[in-house]
Amino acid sequence: MTHALIVIDMQNDFCPGGALAVAGGDEIVPGINALMREFDTVALTQDWHPAGHSSFASSHPGKAPFETVEMPYGPQVLWPDHCVQGSPGAAFHRALDTVPAALIQRKGMHPGLDSYSAFFENDHSTPTGLEGWLRERGVGRLTLVGLATDFCVAWSALDAARLGFDVTVRRDLCRAIDLDGSLATAEAEMTQAGVTLA
């Protein structure tokens, strides 16, 4: 059973100075680069939103970033415009070593549907294709690192566990947004789902 490293959304917009910066987001890049050398299979995820995406507060007149709205697939936090396709903010952090990555999994490309998880859009049913790619390579164990612990990392870990992967999240190589206690909630949900928090 092959063990793969999934590096979640290490992009400029999620690092200090970016449109949706996670505090200390850039601090974990050297550790992630070092960890990549321990894995035969490395995949990177990349938030890749079209301009005017439905998860952007700017797409909802009268709404502000971090407010929540009801979408056809459930509650959606509204975000500042971020990781717009082809923009500097959507690019990987310049210090991230992308050479070892066998796959770059882009997500959040559907204009009306957000995607936190590396495996499914936020409707929990539209697959990204990552599961199939990992299964074809004989992967059964996953280690997740990146941004942000309480959103894209947690949703990816929960989906991976639900799909039957053995999942570890390296907390030292993640950073969180922690929006109204979202970090504690996400960690409790991951623990309950059988995800190892290392």
Would you call 109 helix, strand, or coil by DSSP? coil
Q: Is 174 a catalytic residue?
A: no
User: Could you say which of 15, 83, 152, 174 is catalytic?
Assistant: 152
Would you call 29 helix, strand, or coil by DSSP? helix
Terminus-to-terminus CA distance in the chain, angstroms? 20
Q: Is 9 a catalytic residue?
A: yes
User: Could you say which of 26, 83, 107, 159 is catalytic?
Assistant: 107
The full 3-state SS of 49-97, as one line of letters, equals ECCCCCCEHHHCCCCCCCCEEEECCEEEECECCCCECCCHHHCECCCCC
What's the CA gap between 2 and 135, in Å, rounded?
10
Q: Is 63 a catalytic residue?
A: no
Structure tokens belonging to residue 140: 């059964």
User: Could you say which of 9, 26, 81, 159 is catalytic?
Assistant: 9
Catalytic residues: 9, 107, 152
